[in-house]
Amino acid sequence: MPGVLIPVDEAIAQLSAKAKLLVGSEKVPLLDAVGRVLAEDIVSPNAVPAFDNSAMDGYAVCAADVCIDVPIKISDRIPAGKVGKRLETGTVARIFTGAPMPEGADAIVIQEDTEQSGDAIVLKVAPAKGDHIRRAGQDIEAGKTILTKGRRLRPQDIGLAASVGCNELTVYQKLKVGVMSTGDELIDPPAKLGPGQIYNSNQYTLQALVRQLGMESVDLGIVADTPDATEAALKQGAKLADCILSSGGVSVGEEDHVKAVVEKLGALDLWRLAIKPGKPLAYGRIGDTPFFGLPGNPVSGFVTFMLIARGYLLRCQGCTETELTTVYGAANFTAKGGLRREYFRVQIQFDQNGNSQVTEYSNQGSGVMSSVSWANGLAEIEIGQAVKPGDQVKVLLLG
């Protein structure tokens, strides 16, 4: 087994087949639904807009009844929120953006195309039927599905739901993701570092990533590098969380106990991917609780979370949109793909002509967290792919 590295795409396919919805649903106030995953389709009970209305400040007219360059009587004034009377033939009605079209009118002449003449108005531009009218249902037709189950709701989705009259939404309950850090060298900030110690940054990176996905993170703490401590922490994690992420301890050294303990408490389904950084990634179960053993190196943990764990967790959360956005740009670096698919920390920037440049961080070491913080993307370098400056490379965008 140690010699066999699982290709990244194969691991993703296996995991997406295994990922199951792990949570129920709940009704929440509309604003609390942002970032959550919709658990039912939203069908609009009415049309939006519900009535024909003016798209501009101006004058409502019957296009066939009015001429330009002559004073015309203003027979009504219709602000937004008011309903005007039927338009008198041969007159115009002063109207404001969003106000309902009066009966008998079929066009709007915008204010800028008119001149005041005492109490009357002179049209400088001849209207055509339909000008500047927002038709009923032009945004949403009654009965239309506006948001579908499985969508992770963005602020604009919340506004869309409000525009059809929703004040609460049924979303999936937050997936509880337990995060544990293995390593005798770890301490939590702000304690003063002792000799040989480092801060437990992975705990914070991983919890923040989980929270950014609209899930609940559960701190399972720092776990000593012993089989007993690892076993106790994983058992506890399986009680407290729907899914467990650990960092560190999944490599092949004598201080790496995670793999053996997972095999004892459940099953190890995947171990070691053809990915750089992140080779020692493990996936399995503690009892029935899904488990990801992410590598301890901070960049490796981040990259494997983004590529492997993220999509899986989103599926367990009921989300159907799990892919990272992919773009392409011209590399301004050289690379020589090896025996594992490689992910470079890069910045992709577009110039005003839409051409993109992909720049790599100067130090691609798997412990260099600054590279991840600096990057806005991960450039994917395939096994054996040679990249020279100017070649198009695939970049997965980071949020």
Residue 148 CB, nearest approach to ligand AMP (Å): 38
Counting every residue, how long is the chain? 399
| Closest CB to Mg ion among residues 92, 369 | 369
Which option in ligand AMP, Mg ion, none does residue 208 bind, with CB closer than 5 to 8 A by kind? none
Q: Are 70 and 122 in contact (CB under 8 A)?
A: yes
Residue 288 CB, nearest approach to ligand AMP (Å): 26
Show the tokens assigned to 225.
């590098």
The reply to whether 186 sits near ligand AMP by the rule CB under 6 A is yes
The reply to whether 181 sits near ligand AMP by the rule CB under 6 A is yes
| Closest CB to Mg ion among residues 127, 280 | 280
Residue 313 CB, nearest approach to ligand AMP (Å): 19
The reply to whether 295 sits near Mg ion by the rule CB under 5 A is no
Which option in Mg ion, ligand AMP, none does residue 181 bind, with CB closer than 5 to 8 A by kind? ligand AMP
Q: Which stretch binds ligand AMP (CB under 6 A): 92-100, 115-123, 245-253, 311-319?
A: 245-253
The reply to whether 183 sits near Mg ion by the rule CB under 5 A is yes
Residue closest to 40 by CA, chosen among 318, 313, 323: 318
The reply to whether 25 sits near ligand AMP by the rule CB under 6 A is no
Residue closest to 178 by CA, chosen among 238, 223, 231: 238
Among 53, 75, 173, 203, binds ligand AMP (CB under 6 A): 203
Q: Which stretch binds ligand AMP (CB under 6 A): 200-208, 268-276, 285-293, 355-363?
A: 200-208
CB contact burial 184-210 (16+ within 10 A = b; e otherwise): ebbeeeeeeeeeeeeebbbbbbbbebb
Residue 183 CB, nearest approach to ligand AMP (Å): 4
Site for ligand AMP in 359-398 (CB under 6 A): none
**Per-residue 3-state assignment (H helix, E strand, C coil) for the chain:** CCCCCECHHHHHHHHHHHCCCCCCEEEEEHHHHCCCEECCCEECCCCECCCCEECCCEEEECHHHCCCCCEECEEEEECCCCCCCCCCCCCEEEECCCCECCCCCCEEEEHHHEEEECCEEEECCCCCCCCCEECCCCCECCCCEEECCCCECCHHHHHHHHHCCCCEEEEECCCEEEEEEECCCEECCCCCCCCCCEECHHHHHHHHHHHHCCCEEEEEEEECCCHHHHHHHHHHHHHHCCEEEEECCCCCCCCCCHHHHHHHHEEEEEECECEECCCCCEEEEECCEEEEEECCCHHHHHHHHHHHHHHHHHHHCCCCCCCCCEEEEEECCCEECCCCEEEEEEEEEECCCCCEEEEECCCCCCCCHHHHHHCCEEEEECCCCEECCCCEEEEEECC
| Closest CB to Mg ion among residues 42, 220 | 220
The reply to whether 150 sits near Mg ion by the rule CB under 5 A is no
Residue indicated by tokens 């929703």: 166
Q: Residues 50-89 vs Mg ion: string with x where CB under 5 A?
A: ----------------------------------------
Among 237, 277, 295, 329, binds ligand AMP (CB under 6 A): 295
| Closest CB to ligand AMP among residues 143, 227 | 227
Residue 285 CB, nearest approach to ligand AMP (Å): 21
Among 14, 46, 111, 201, binds ligand AMP (CB under 6 A): 201
The reply to whether 91 sits near ligand AMP by the rule CB under 6 A is no
The reply to whether 200 sits near ligand AMP by the rule CB under 6 A is yes
Residue 367 CB, nearest approach to ligand AMP (Å): 6
The reply to whether 202 sits near ligand AMP by the rule CB under 6 A is yes
Site for Mg ion in 237-266 (CB under 5 A): 248-249
| Closest CB to ligand AMP among residues 169, 220 | 220
Residues in contact with ligand AMP by CB under 6 A are: 181-183, 185-186, 198, 200-203, 247-249, 251, 295-298
Residues in contact with Mg ion by CB under 5 A are: 183, 248-249, 296
